[in-house]
Amino acid sequence: MGGLLEGKSALVTGGAKGIGRATALAFVREGARVWLCDLDDAAGEEVAAQIGEGGGEAVFQHADVTREADVRELVAAAVERFGGLDCAVNNAGITGAGGAIADIALEEWQRTLSINLTSVFLCLKYQLPVMQRQGKGAIVNVASGAGLIAVPGLSPYCASKHGVLGLTKTAAVENARTGVRVNAICPGTIDTPMLRAAMARDPKLEKMILAATPSGRFGAAEEVGEGAVWLCSDRASFVSGEAMLIDGATVAR
C-alpha cells in the first residue's frame, strides 16, 4: 500500500531544521517528492541528501521567502521539476524580538512580520495560481498557539501569527470552489533548535514553559509534521480554513 501522499509533489519552506525538516521527512516517508528551501544551505543540502540516500526524492533550493523574486523562482522551479504542485507547507519563521510593546524597535517589529507573515502572503500569491489551474491542491501555513491567544512579551510574534491565521481563513474561503484547500497548524512549544537556543540564553525558560504546559513536555517536530501530512492528504478532503492546534492542550488550559 502507498503512503498518504503517494505520488504527490510538495514544497516546504524553512525545510532545513526543526519543524520544516521533520515535515519534509514525513512527506517523503508517505510517498511525496519534496522541494525544500531555507537560508541555511549546508543544513538544507544535508536534509535533501538524507532523503536521497533513503530512496526518496528531494531537492534543496536556497531562497529568502521575504523576497518576492525568490518566492516566484522557488515555486516555478518546483513546478518545472515536478510538473505541478500538489502540497505546500509554509513553515519559515522566527521568534523575533521580545519585550514590552513600548520597548520593541520598529526594525525588529518589521523583521518579524516580514519573515513570519509577509513570507506566507508571498508563498500563497505564487502557490495558489498553480493549484487553481490544476483544480486541486492543499496548503498548510505554520502559525502558532500564539496566533490564537495573547503572549505578553512577544507582541511582534503574536501579531504575525494572528495574521497568518487571517490569511489562511481568507485564502480558504476564496478558494472553496477551486479544489484548493488552505489550513494552518498551530504548534505549541516544540523541541527545535530555535527553542534550544532560546533556553540556552535563559536557563529559567525551560522550567517556565514546562510549568505552563499541561502535558508536562515539549512537543516533537515530528508530531507537527504528522499534522501537516494529514491536512495535505485526501483524508482531509473537506477540511479547509482550519487552525489545528498541536500543543498538548496548552491553549485549552
Torsion, Cα of 143, 149, 155, 161 (10° steps):
20
Given 35, 157, 218, 230, the catalytic residue:
157
Distance of alpha carbon 48 from alpha carbon 70, whole angstroms: 19
Please provide residue 196's backbone torsions phi and psi, each rounded to the nearest 5 degrees. Answer: -60, -40
Tell me which H or E stretch contains 115. Answer: none
Tell me which H or E stretch contains 243. Answer: strand 243-246
The C-alpha cell at 106 is 520598529
Beta strands per DSSP E along 28-179: 33-38, 58-62, 87-90, 137-142
Contact 150, 102 (CB under 8 A): no
Active site residue 157: yes
The residue count for the chain: 253
Distance of alpha carbon 155 from alpha carbon 217, whole angstroms: 24
The C-alpha cell at 235 is 483524508
Give the residue numbers annotated as catalytic, written as ranges.
Answer: 157
